[in-house]
A and B are shown apart, each in its own frame.
Chain A
């Protein structure tokens, strides 16, 4: 019959647990680290012609690349399609814009075509009332740098500097959208509603609403399309499709527009002109 340890001496039972548990657990972790951070990278690096230090640094993620493969290099000079970057600084400039200064500039420069409240005088010129401030900012900036060209807008934009652009953008963004001639959803062609809400998986076309609906979480510079001039939307889509307009970053709109049929372009323009969001 074996002796039972008295209850008053628990440490006699505990000591081996502490020792063995620590050895087992730490051993597992340290073996894993030894293999993963040292042995495997060094062996793989030899196969790729890398010295041990480089291989280990790559395996740890201290320098780019794999410990088992050569790393490609690239020396292409930058050729951006738009100079606009959405950094916190730029967003600050937009947030701090002065609406009154914007109104003053609008009355001086923009009102003839775009109207004081952002309702344009001709189908050739887009409405700007309630447009996204970021969208207006980007287009003016792109006109300034030449990423987008227009016989009238290029010169106008080049005369504006960045804070003024932000002011104008903020002013028009704050103008209320007017109510369109009421058209019920039932009048919109079913195929177009589907394109807007569901996109077209066959053609890789995402739903328009996935970016152009407010709160969709798409690209920052996405313009509001609701209540826009139909002719303007249609013309821009055609310019994107042909590649003449190319200031959309990474060809998002060029790719989509080139897959739309002419009938769809006109129907989409009519859909948004009617005020659907």
Chain B
């Protein structure tokens, strides 16, 4: 080391650091590039739907009134699930969804913060009072899935979950009003 000029030595060290930093930059660019690529080609987005709704009068509203909760197939064939997360249950407690079709799930809370995920799927969202949480997904695997509340909402949080029944096409038969509930098993 003693015969190398200190500044040249420092430059060499910085050179190695810059080479490593370049590698780090490539790695970072790859991670970000993947996110951009999937956003542009597959429309991969975080669940985002900034829609305000008053939690205090949620039960008075048409969309989230008790009788309107559950799965509805509209005239154009689109499937929408509306559910409430409240202390300490989901309403409805069982949700029927079709397999391999686009489903839009809409949740809201009349009281405190909740959250939910559906096991084995990419459905994962917080349910914040004051907002409608909306997730778009396709259920590719059949069967009964677990939909627990995954955010602390009070002392009954541990017992708060719903079931999601993924029905194959031949079993997914909505009534004349477009509504469908879970099959009794």
Chain A residues in contact with chain B, CB under 8 A?
Answer: 1-2, 35, 39-40, 43-44, 47-48, 59, 61-70, 72, 74-83, 85-87, 199-201, 204-207, 209-211, 216-219, 249-252, 255-256
Q: Does B139 touch A at the CB level, under 8 Å?
A: no
A218 to B50, Cβ gap below 8 A? no
B160 to A255, Cβ gap below 8 A? no
A72 to B78, Cβ gap below 8 A? yes
B43 to A44, Cβ gap below 8 A? yes
B45 to A66, Cβ gap below 8 A? yes
A210 to B60, Cβ gap below 8 A? no
A251 to B48, Cβ gap below 8 A? no
Chain B residues in contact with chain A, CB under 8 A?
Answer: 5, 7, 36, 39-40, 43, 45, 48-51, 56-57, 59-63, 65-68, 74, 78, 80, 82, 84, 86-89, 91, 93, 102, 104, 106, 110-112, 132, 134, 136, 154-156, 158-161
| A247, B60: Cα distance in complex, Å | 12
| A219, B156: Cα distance in complex, Å | 12
A210 to B110, Cβ gap below 8 A? no
A76 to B39, Cβ gap below 8 A? no
Pick from A72, A85, A206: contact of B89, CB under 8 Å = A206
Additional A-B contacts beyond A69-B43, A81-B66 (15; CB < 8 A):
A43-B40, A68-B43, A74-B80, A74-B82, A75-B62, A76-B63, A85-B60, A204-B93, A204-B159, A206-B87, A207-B155, A209-B155, A252-B86, A252-B88, A252-B89
Pick from B57, B62, B74, B86: contact of A72, CB under 8 Å = B74
Distance from B117 Cβ to chain A, minimum over Cβ atoms (Å): 17
Set of chain B residues within 8 Å of A207, measured between Cβ atoms: 155-156, 159
Set of chain A residues within 8 Å of B74, measured between Cβ atoms: 72
Could you list some 22 contacts between A and B, CB below 8 A? A40-B39, A64-B50, A66-B49, A68-B136, A69-B43, A74-B68, A76-B63, A78-B65, A79-B67, A79-B68, A80-B60, A86-B56, A204-B89, A206-B87, A207-B156, A207-B159, A211-B156, A217-B112, A218-B154, A218-B155, A249-B86, A250-B59
